[in-house]
A = this chain, B = another copy of it.
Amino acid sequence: MRFKNEADLQKWLEQARNGEPKQVKKTIAPALTQIDTSLQRRIIGIDTALRCTGWGIIDVRNGTMTAVDCGVIKNTPKDKISDCLRRLSIGMRELITLYKPDYAVMEGAFFFRNVHTALMLGSARGTVLAALAENGISTYEYAPRRIKQSVCGFGNASKEQVAVLVAQFLKIQTNHIALDATDALAMAICHAQALAVSGGLGIPEPL
């Protein structure tokens, strides 16, 4: 805290003697209410696709991240669209009931080869987003580059490089984990880091 002159300091000390200074209250209170890092938060990252959706859950407390669980919801290429979406919806609802996450993270800013691909991926995203929203879980979207940057330090990292650094971050073995699941863990790590920086002021608006 800075004071313009001696009189200003004296005024502040006077206030402090009579109770907590009002000026301090005003400046500190909003920052504290934004994100309390001492509370444990559970974050689920979801790498959505129609055929293979990766998911990864971590706990964060005071900047320390702990892996909880991860996996994939798989469909064979022969499965009908409605079957894929049914399995995805039921799977997501099961995960939410079992792990009760506080936040969800998905990848945004897509590049598609054609409109049909966008429509198919949109269906999968909508199914996941509806299941999360129905359970009151806020979903945040980060660009793929930002997710890779937050884990690997550069935005063009391969899926294998992401897996190696996720292993280091969470102190787990990722050799036998599907790459879609480690990608999902990377999303959760990205959001955990955003929460920790400047009391969470850097996190985007939820979807």
Interface residues of A in 118-166 (CB under 8 A from B): 118-127, 129-134, 138-139
Whether A119 contacts B125 by the Cβ 8 Å rule is yes
Given known A-B contacts A115-B118, A118-B119, A122-B118, A129 and B207 have beta carbons under 8 A apart? no
Which residues of B lie under 8 Å from residue A122 when comparing CB positions? Answer: 118-123, 125-126
> Main SS of chain A's interface residues?
helix
Chain A residue total in the interface (Cβ 8 A)? 32
Whether A82 contacts B123 by the Cβ 8 Å rule is no
Which residues of B lie under 8 Å from residue A115 when comparing CB positions? Answer: 110, 112, 115, 118
Partner of A129 from the list B82, B125, B133 (CB cut-off 8 Å) is B82
Whether A126 contacts B82 by the Cβ 8 Å rule is no
Whether A86 contacts B134 by the Cβ 8 Å rule is yes
Given known A-B contacts A119-B110, A122-B120, A207 and B80 have beta carbons under 8 A apart? yes
Whether B207 contacts A132 by the Cβ 8 Å rule is no
User: Could you list 22 examples of A-B contacts with CB < 8 Å?
Assistant: A80-B206, A80-B207, A81-B129, A81-B207, A82-B132, A82-B139, A82-B206, A85-B126, A85-B130, A85-B133, A88-B130, A89-B131, A110-B119, A112-B115, A112-B118, A115-B118, A118-B118, A118-B119, A119-B122, A125-B126, A126-B126, A127-B129
